[in-house]
């Protein structure tokens, strides 16, 4: 065997059977686990940053949308109040419709609720309110009212201006009787008052239909005996059509 081979064999033997005491019965200690207390571990953690929120530009509400929201809030508030008429309490939708109609006539919300009367789902205006609306919107309007207490007759002439021939409405008890009104309680107790306002409502609706938007007077609808038959009810209203 060559000397160099012997040397290689000796080195291999040394590796397989080490003579060094360091390798005899040497027990390797297990590595210690690296565990931090919870509190210290929390300190080492970095807080997770929330993703940045990109602000979304909300579209600006139009004037109409803002007014709609304002009126709805008013309606819900008024529906809980005891100051509004009984038929509007707890009905914000009806209040909203009434207020919107009133705004077209130039009314404030409370004036709308006290001036507009809903009868069988139909919006009506008191005759006094109709007269006030006409005078406020048509400064040149001429309304002449003549009432004869003895003869129980009311004559109302409505003109848009002095050059307008206008329209004259005449109401007496004979006319009221022909229409089946003279036996009603209000007509018996205050006939001239009823004649006056019926003549007023007829005249102003004829001349100022554009201002009143075709709205009937409350007195007219109160005098109509509502029939469950829709066709008969519509036929009854034709008596007062312009």
- 20 phi/psi in degrees, rounded to 5: -70, 130
For each successive 10 residues of the chain (242 residues), what is the average pLDDT? 65 58 52 60 67 68 80 88 88 89 86 86 88 91 94 95 94 92 89 94 93 87 57 50 44
**Dist. CA 203–CA 195, nearest whole Å:** 12
| Domain boundary, last residue among 89, 104, 119 | 119
Residue 19 inside a domain? The answer is: no
Residue 139 inside a domain? The answer is: yes
Let me know whether 131 and 240 are in one domain.
yes
The C-alpha angle 70, 75, 79, rounded to 5 degrees, equals 155
Write the DSSP symbol of residue 209.
Answer: H
Let me know whether 84 and 152 are in one domain.
no
**Dist. CA 143–CA 161, nearest whole Å:** 10
| CA distance to 14, 42, 43, per residue, from 133 (Å) | 123, 76, 77
Sign of CA dihedral 210, 214, 220, 222: negative
Let me know whether 84 and 172 are in one domain.
no
| Domain boundary, last residue among 99, 119, 139 | 119
Q: What is the pTM of this model?
A: 0.61
């Amino acid at each position: 065997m060559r000397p160099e081979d012997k040397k290689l064999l000796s080195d291999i033997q040394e590796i397989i059977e080490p003579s060094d005491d360091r390798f005899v019965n040497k027990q390797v200690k297990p590595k210690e686990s690296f565990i931090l207390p919870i509190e210290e571990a929390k300190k080492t953690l970095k807080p997770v940053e929330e993703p940045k929120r990109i602000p979304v530009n909300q579209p600006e509400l139009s004037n109409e949308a803002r007014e709609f929201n304002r009126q709805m809030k008013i309606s819900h508030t008024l529906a809980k109040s005891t100051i509004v008429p009984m038929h509007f309490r707890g009905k914000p939708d009806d209040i909203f419709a009434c207020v919107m109609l009133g705004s077209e006539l130039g009314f404030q919300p409370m004036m709308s609720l006290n001036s507009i009367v809903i009868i069988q789902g139909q919006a009506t205006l008191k005759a006094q309110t109709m007269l006030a609306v006409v005078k406020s919107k048509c400064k040149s309007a001429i309304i002449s009212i003549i009432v004869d207490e003895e003869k129980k007759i009311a004559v109302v002439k409505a003109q848009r201006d002095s050059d307008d021939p206008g329209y004259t409405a005449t109401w007496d008890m004979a006319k009221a009787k022909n229409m089946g009104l003279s036996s009603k309680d209000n007509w018996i107790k205050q006939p001239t008052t009823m004649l006056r306002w019926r003549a007023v409502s007829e005249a102003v609706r004829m001349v100022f239909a554009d201002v009143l938007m075709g709205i009937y007077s409350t007195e007219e609808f109160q005098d109509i005996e509502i029939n469950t038959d829709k066709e008969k009810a519509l036929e009854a209203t034709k008596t007062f059509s312009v």
